[in-house]
Amino acid sequence: MSDVVDELRAIGFCASREQLEALLSHATANRLSHVQVVELLVEMERRQREARNLATRTKMATVGAHTTMDRFDWSHPRKIDRALCENVLGLGFVERRENVLFRGPSGVGKTMLAQNVCLAALSAGMTVCFTPVVSALADLLKQESLPAVERRMKRYTNVDLLVCDELGYVPVDKRAVDLFFQIISRRHERASTIISTNLAFKEWGGVFPGAACLVALIDRFTQHLHTIDIDADSYRQKPGNSPPPPQPRPRSRGASARRRV
């Protein structure tokens, strides 16, 4: 049996040795036909490859450490449209190329909700980019030429779902505002964007001071928009009510093996 397992691994099977040995032992003990064994092998390999693909795309999307929705305390906020949140998690807005705004004070779960929408989109096979607003703009500003900016801009404009997190915490200069306007404008009615912020639209001028394009930016973003306002005290300011810590991602056997080498 070990020879068969070695050959399967040699031709590129992703399943671990232990998984393959267990499957073949099960097949032998139950006298499965050759066709049944092949079907089981194909199903196991398909699941393994899908899991690896999802893990890779999640890493590329830079979603980061997160808390899953089953641990979100819906009773904590004084105001939140749970039905709309669940509708957004269903991803219909992405198919319709609409936008979402998560708005509320710091520490009420805006980032967590946005991360979980990203995870749902990744699981559905969509392309995703999650980034703090200031990080995306700093990334574009450090490019050394216009062609380089254009190439890097595709990271933010060519995905099915873009999440711009934490708008409003750090003011940006005029050049950065122009770049943010380009992102929103190029995605307008072509792909979905989520923004999380602690500010009302009338306060965005404080983040983008003197920006001539601000009205046009807001106009494009709000044309097809679902707004989820959250009124709550910060989880972080209430002892005993802080959200559970993010769960670490399971490490792949391959990664563990590389670290041991």
Domains of the chain, CATH where assigned: 2-60 (no CATH), 69-234 (3.40.50.300)
* CA dihedral of residues 118, 119, 120, 126 (deg, nearest 10): 70
Instruction: Tell me the mean pLDDT per 10 residues along the chain, length 261.
Output: 80 86 90 90 88 90 92 94 98 98 96 97 97 97 96 98 95 92 98 98 93 95 98 80 52 40 30
pLDDT at 260: 35
Q: CA–CA separation, 37 vs 32, rounded Å? A: 6
Give the global pTM.
0.80
Contacts 24+ apart (CB under 8 A), 26-30: 28/1
Neighbours of 72 (CB within 10 A): 19
pLDDT at 248: 54
Say if residue 41 is exposed, middle or buried (CB neighbours under 10 Å; 0-12, 13-18, 19+). Answer: middle
Cα 236 to Cα 204, 244, 247: the distances in Å are: 25, 11, 17
pLDDT at 14: 81
The residues near 190 (Cβ < 8 Å, ≥ 6 apart) are 97
